Amino acid sequence: MFENYRVFKTDFAGRPLVIETGKMTQLANGACLVRYGETVVHVAVTAAAKPREGVDFFPLSVDFEEKQYAMGRIPGGFGKREGRPSEKAILVSRVIDRPIRPLFPKDMRNDVSIVCTVMAYDPDCLPEIAAMVGTSIALSISDVPWNGPISAVSVGLVDGAFVINPTKAQREVSQMAVTVASTDSRIAMIEAGANIIPDDVMYNGIMAGHEANQAIIEFIKGIQAEIGREKFSYPSNEPEPEMYEAIKAFAIDDIRVALDTDDKKVRDERLKPIYEAVHAKFDECYPDQSEKIEDCLYKTQKYVVRRWLLDEQKRVDGRAMNQMRPLASEVGILPRVHGSGLFTRGQTQVLTITTLGSISDQQTLDGIDDQTSKRYIHHYNFPSYSVGETKPSRGPGRREIGHGALAERALVPVIPSAEEFPYTIRLVSEILSSNGSTSQGSICGSTLSLMDAGVPIKAPVAGISCGLITEGDRWMTMVDIQGLEDFFGDMDFKVAGTKEGITAIQMDLKISGLTPEMVKEALYKTHEARNYILDEVMLKAIPEPRKELSQYAPKMLSTVIPVDKIREVIGSGGKVIQKICAECDVKIDIEEDGHVYVTGIDMENCKRAMTIVDTIVKDPEPGAIYKGKVTRLMAVHLLKSLPAKRDSAISPSWTSSVPRR
């Protein structure tokens, strides 16, 4: 029945990788079923037959879908079915998108959809790695134009050695989690979280991942050679060369003048009359091609910026290649909140607010992995006014979720443990003004806000981005790219870390990949830049975390009680713990391992509640004096006949004192 059914097998980091094609999803342009260990991911690629009208970009969508049945679970909620994708699924979709997008033709406007569905989950074999490999295979064997293949691996650092695609146990002790995607010659994508790892160790880990990718790329090329389809043709959206040259010759001098400023608002105002003049002259010459006229103007601006950088080492705002924009830091901006920090870099400005809560305020997660909660949360908001636009707010999009997750990952290694600081921590970064690298500005603002709130972070963290311009074998990097350099450049290499090492990396490319030399230089330049930001700006605003929490922050005490005493503290139907909370005006959280957290606005009330808990869980000792409340009086002969119960005649309380015999 399935005459085109094929099975391809190889070894992938010590575990079997099995690819099945030709049995399922026969109406898609390309599809495969990936079995990695016992993880199973289905990948389908479809493309529209005709270009989408009225768009000036390549319309690619990538969806990573987590199914609860993959873990043998039934979804919660009334509908008992999966709803909107989890934040992790959105982040994985972005990770898959980044290395494959530059390999599509720049002039194609046909919609392309990629759907990766996790059908079975083996914790030792990450489904995101299987999905990235499956995406590369499905695109390679499809008729969709694409200049792949790629491969991707996860790199861990366990006991000083690099581990490719670490198992669950290895990931739990690994000092870094780095996803590296590669073509057969270059590094196409890096996504990293690390526990303050030195630059040279990070670089060696990236190269270890790049080397491991090569065997899988050769495996995919073999599949493509055997069953790959011929790529379809499409109508190019590229403007005719004559049209581009005419518009370029007409507008280039005015565009040079317009772009030569460090003020984004001034630049935009200067460009408006140029656009109007170009349309007035060329709309009649090229009727019904307004989008292509706009594209010619975009390409002319790109030409000017890149020529300045490559030929004159000139940046649009006059800075040197390694020079950062003016920097400023402030703390304590807002009253009443628990902590606030304002970070400004040129025309990029971020205000981050810290809120502290009880342990029970931590976020509950419902994904297919084993992480069920987190007590440190970072949210990133990008309102339209930050770029001078009027778009209404519709909730966070994929970009906002991605940038918030990057800032969160950058700060996780320095956040104190629950034992050291028993609070849930929520950061919200409000982007007030955007002209490049707001995600890295939010990392700097978050560090300031945490220290202003008195959170005892292990070390301050700063973030900075590095750009790239390439032309043939020529290339050059520049630090602290603004929006125009990101827009017209080839790379946005974001690195966050302390003065000692890296905590997070995210690399976005518009070209097929980077050489090892490019990666090494980007790491070096971002290290120097973040040290400068920390020493010259951030630590001058606040050199260390405040010693005291805000008067408006909840006060917290914690202890550990025997697990067999938890029932006594809670009481029948929760009566005991509810009484303590009501009389002391506190909130008490008890975890299964015996950790007890008491939260309240007044520290004396917290101490009082903790004393009560200690009284309940400690067994009476001969000769000790205990405070209690007499609840009733009984005849002596009756007392002797009653069974010995701790609370039969005297109930543990905290309002009066009588000796307990």
Q: Express the helix, strand and coil content of the chain in percent, nearest 5 each.
A: 35, 25, 35
Residue 90 is predicted with a pLDDT of 95
* DSSP string of 82-120, one letter each residue: --SPPHHHHHHHHHHHHHHGGGS-TT--EEEEEEEEEEE
The values of phi and psi at residue 204, to 5°, are: -65, -35
Q: Is the pLDDT of residue 641 over 90?
A: no
CA distances from 391 to 173, 193, 253, 339, 532 (A): 44, 33, 32, 29, 36
Residue 636 is predicted with a pLDDT of 62
The answer to whether the beta carbons of residues 134 and 34 sit under 8 Å apart is yes
Gap between the Cα atoms of 611 and 655, Å rounded:
13
Gap between the Cα atoms of 121 and 29, Å rounded:
26
What's 71's DSSP letter?
G
The answer to whether the beta carbons of residues 213 and 136 sit under 8 Å apart is no
The values of phi and psi at residue 450, to 5°, are: -60, -45
Residue 637 is predicted with a pLDDT of 57
Q: From 239, 252, 341, select the one nearest 294 (Cα to Cα).
A: 239
pLDDT tens, residue by residue, 390-434: 888 888 999 999 999 999 999 999 999 988 998 999 999 999 999
Gap between the Cα atoms of 594 and 592, Å rounded:
5
Gap between the Cα atoms of 515 and 518, Å rounded:
5
Identify the residue with better confidence: 173 or 318.
173
Residue 18 is predicted with a pLDDT of 98
Gap between the Cα atoms of 189 and 99, Å rounded:
5
Over residues 311-320, mean pLDDT? 91
Gap between the Cα atoms of 530 and 523, Å rounded:
11
pLDDT over 70 percentage in the chain = 96
Domains of the chain: 6-227 (3.30.230.70), 241-312 (1.10.10), 327-541 (3.30.230.70), 556-652 (3.30.1370.10)
Beta bridge partners of 507: 493
Beta bridge partners of 516: none
Can you read off the two tokens belonging to residue 181? Answer: 């995607």
Q: Is the pLDDT of residue 239 over 50?
A: yes
Per the prediction, the chain carries an average pLDDT of 92
Question: 297: part of which helix (H) or strand (E)?
Answer: helix 290-307
Query: What confidence tier does 643 reach under pLDDT thresholds 50, 70, 90?
Result: low
Query: What confidence tier does 615 reach under pLDDT thresholds 50, 70, 90?
Result: confident
Q: Is the pLDDT of residue 77 over 80?
A: no
Q: From 259, 260, 300, 261, select the one nearest 278 (Cα to Cα).
A: 300
Beta bridge partners of 566: none
Pairing of the two strands 110-120 and 60-66: parallel
Starting at the edge strand found earlier in the chain, the sheet holding 424-433 runs 327-331, 339-345, 348-357, 424-433, 376-381
- Residues 467-488 as b/e (b if ≥16 CB within 10 A, e otherwise) read bbbbeeeebebbbbbbbbbbeb
Residue 56 is predicted with a pLDDT of 84
Q: Is the pLDDT of residue 659 over 70?
A: no
